[in-house]
Chains A and B, each alone.
Chain A
Amino acid sequence: MLLILDVLTTAGILFVVSIGLLAVFGVLKIINFAHGAWLTIGAYCAVIAAELGLNPWAALPLAFVIGAALGGLAELFIIRPLYRRPLDAILATWGLGIVIGQLITLGFGRDVQMTPNLFSGTVEILGVDYSAYRLVALGAALVIGVVFAAAMEGTRLGLSARAVIMNETLARGLGIDTVRVRLVTFMAGAGLAALAGVLLTPLTSVDPNMGVGWLIGAFMLVMVADASLVALAVACLVFGAAQVLISTFVSPILGSIAIAVLAALVLRVSPKGFSRA
């Protein structure tokens, strides 16, 4: 029972962490290697919210807004010039991540920061005592996924974004302002990453390098999902399960590299990953 809950909540957390990266990759065809830095930015928004004496949950909208605003700047000055050089964009965003990490270090110091608990305690579910917060995180993943899907399906911008995902040249030919679609998508992706950063604070230490550890996993999941939200959910569930099962029954060390290795092998067999299924 514990195992099932572990798998589901792990998948939920992975989904929350990866969805911002997926949005950016899907529309811009660019891998944002500063994604980890935006997770960190989000977590430090929680630190700031606590210092301002706000309700811990208020950190979520705060992080989304700050993350999206900074994302807008990054898109304008760093992503936009590199739009035709996707491999260079990986490097520039990695460099941006270094810069952000060092700015946070200069501003807040290298130490671990204290953040208030969003939700503590355990609940009795299906006969076991389980971390309430992990269930909240799973719920958050579902809410974010549903809202994101609804935005893609139901709004004008979502429609434009889907058009750009399918065929950017054609979309531009049809009069869609692809430049604006890219900007808004990057801002949304950055905002979601920052949001994920806040949601991670009860699970991990908050320090300037906290985001890097999550980057590779999110990156591999997005590669396998190839711009499809459903495929990302499936990938999180499958690889999250693999990580938990291998950690439980074989070795946590192998479990920690399970996502990266399995995703690489899946891509070798099927370059479009799970999105084709």
Chain B
Amino acid sequence: MPDTSALATAAPAARSSPRLSRAAPFVVAGLAAVALWIAPLALDTFAVNVLTRSMIYAMLAVTVDLLWGFAGVLTFGQAAFFGVGAYAAAMALTYLGADPVWMVAALGLAVLAPAVLGLAVGWLSFYHRSTALYASVISLVVPIVVVQLIYSGGEWTGSSSGLVGFDVLPLELEGFFRLAALALVALTLAAWIFVRSDAGRALVAVRDNDARCAYLGLSPKRIQIALTTALAGVAGLAGFLFANASSVVAPENAGFLFGTELVIWVALGGRGTLLGPILGTIAIDYLAANLSGDLPFLWQLLLGATFVAVIILLPGGLADLARRAWGATPFSGRAAFAPALAALPARPAPDASGAPLLKIEGLAKSYGALTVLENIDLEIRAGELVSLVGPNGAGKTTLMRCLSDGTEDFRGQVSIGGASTAGLTPNRIVALGVGRKFQVASVFESLSVADCLLLARASNDGLSPFGRAETLALPQAALDVMRMTGLDQMLALPTRLLSHGQKQALELAMVVALEPRLILLDEPTAGLTKAERSTIGAVLKTLTGELGIAAVLVEHDLDFVRQISSRIVVLHQGRLVLDGGVDEVVGSELVRTIYSGGSHG
């Protein structure tokens, strides 16, 4: 590990001027606000008018970027929320008037109505086992439905002609420009702080690996629904500004085509960068206003062709080009952030003599006519380290899945600490005190080592939406895993650069950081070196022996199993065929027969 020391010294360097770097976004935002405040003095009427619209659209681009660029939800639906906000404002102003009281009501309605719709859309789009594609499908349907509702609203919504001539905020052209500019700057600043905060890591984590999120006790679906709802409200606010600034709303404002335009702008500007989509939207919309009159078809053609080329060749958009150019300059050496580690006080060891922690009664599972598990009864108490062995296809991994996901379709009963897991999603089973380590290391590839651990603590400690915690407190056992594997020296390193063994160790540290009562491990030593293997063995012995955690371990390596287990359970063709002490099982005739093809049979 040659670059460890360099990173270790880089991390404290980043902390040396936290105040300066924390103030920077506010200073930049302040300067941007001032510059935009004076801009109308230098711009002609046409530019002021068009740029007002462009800046409102840029607010939408921010919402699309948060959803797509950060949280990985490709959405065409922001147009619908924008349209609902704009129509809510326009209808309120048309039928109630523009007195200050009604103006405030219009504003409230313009934010609330889309947020409620966003909540419904989020609930529909995100559920346990929903796919990213399904959310995109729903985001296509929503604008189509909203537009048809507008069409069929008759005089109430103005149907295809839209609504015009309602009273608006008493501002001149320049006033609307400044209002839009302030709203855009404020939104950008808030989004900027949010995505750089600890809570912002959760968005990226959901995008990277929503299964891992769930098995850390976070509800990825709830995060996605909350984000959809909040950003629908923001889109509605943009709609309110649009209705006021243009005093026209039309069905196109809510349509699917506008939704695709937003995605095009964000993609060209550079998804996941916030500033890229904002500048991209303003530049493209302004150019469009200037060029589409003279070159209507050619302009669309150029835009379409550029879009295709950028998606294929430059997925990071134009912001990526800028970043690469910046990376080539000598000023670019900004160190990655990493918090200092600290130890959490140890929890008192649970009473090892009491009722079984995990109780499985008559568990059975089949896929159609194929029976994978049959009649499994098993009890595991605190402090036990139970190894689950058996040849490939014996049903070991399936059993682990049934234990950690109550929505799996199985028969029989699983209870943890007396509570049945029936129907519980993985994150709720984690809340019962279960930690699961997967067979293939499951971490967050675009986050750093420290961020992965931060998220593992999130269900206990929460995440700040405003900034980054300076210290990260972990249970001693997790710290031990980190120290023994050298990961504590790589906190700022992106996990995708870790070796296979390091990723396995990191995932183990994450699971241990949850402070589970029961830990499920699926071949934690697969593909590891002998040294790494004995490290993990030592950690498991400490966890079970000293801290009283129960562990279920799926393992092929009988030598390893013999060294660390307190009990061994043999699974063969979906049945539990042996359950006993280490020597009893390892020495049995049955195990020798099953494993006659060698230990990896």
Contacts and interface: CB of A to CB of B under 8 A. Distances in A.
A98 B74 contact: no
A98 B303 CA distance: 9
A31 B303 CA distance: 21
A106 B297 contact: yes
Contact of A78 (B263, B308, B315): B308
A216 B301 contact: no
B260 interface: yes
B311 interface: yes
Contacts of A85: 315
A105 B148 contact: no
A102 B311 CA distance: 19
B304 interface: yes
Contacts of A223: 133, 137
Contact of B134 (A88, A96, A267): A267
B312 A216 contact: no
A91 interface: yes
Candidate in A85, A216, A264 with the most chain B CB atoms within 10 angstroms: A264
B131 interface: yes
Interface string B351-377: 000000000000000000000000000
Contacts of B127: 268
A102 B145 contact: no
A103 interface: yes
Interface string A247-259: 0000101101100
Given A85-B315, A99-B305, A268-B124, A91 B134 contact: no
Interface string A234-268: 00000000000000000101101100110010011
B130 A94 contact: no
A81 interface: yes
B132 interface: yes
A106 B137 contact: no
B304 A95 contact: yes
Interface residues of A, number: 37
Contact of A216 (B131, B140, B304): B140
A261 B137 CA distance: 10
A258 B141 CA distance: 11
A139 interface: no
Nearest to B300: A102
Interface string A48-79: 00000000000000000000000000000010
Nearest to A82: B312
Contacts of B304: 95-99, 102
B297 A102 contact: yes
B152 A253 contact: yes
Interface of B: 74, 124, 127, 129-134, 136-138, 140-141, 144-145, 148, 151-152, 256, 260, 263-264, 267, 297-298, 300-301, 303-305, 307-308, 311-312, 315
Given A78-B312, A268-B124, 20 more contacts: A87-B133, A91-B311, A92-B308, A95-B305, A98-B304, A102-B304, A106-B297, A216-B140, A216-B144, A219-B140, A220-B141, A223-B133, A223-B137, A251-B152, A260-B140, A260-B144, A261-B145, A264-B124, A264-B137, A271-B131
20 contacts: A31-B133, A78-B308, A92-B308, A92-B311, A92-B312, A94-B260, A95-B308, A98-B301, A98-B304, A98-B307, A99-B304, A106-B301, A216-B140, A216-B141, A260-B144, A260-B145, A264-B124, A264-B137, A264-B138, A271-B134
The list of the 3 closest CB pairs from A to B, nearest first, reads A98-B304, A102-B301, A95-B308
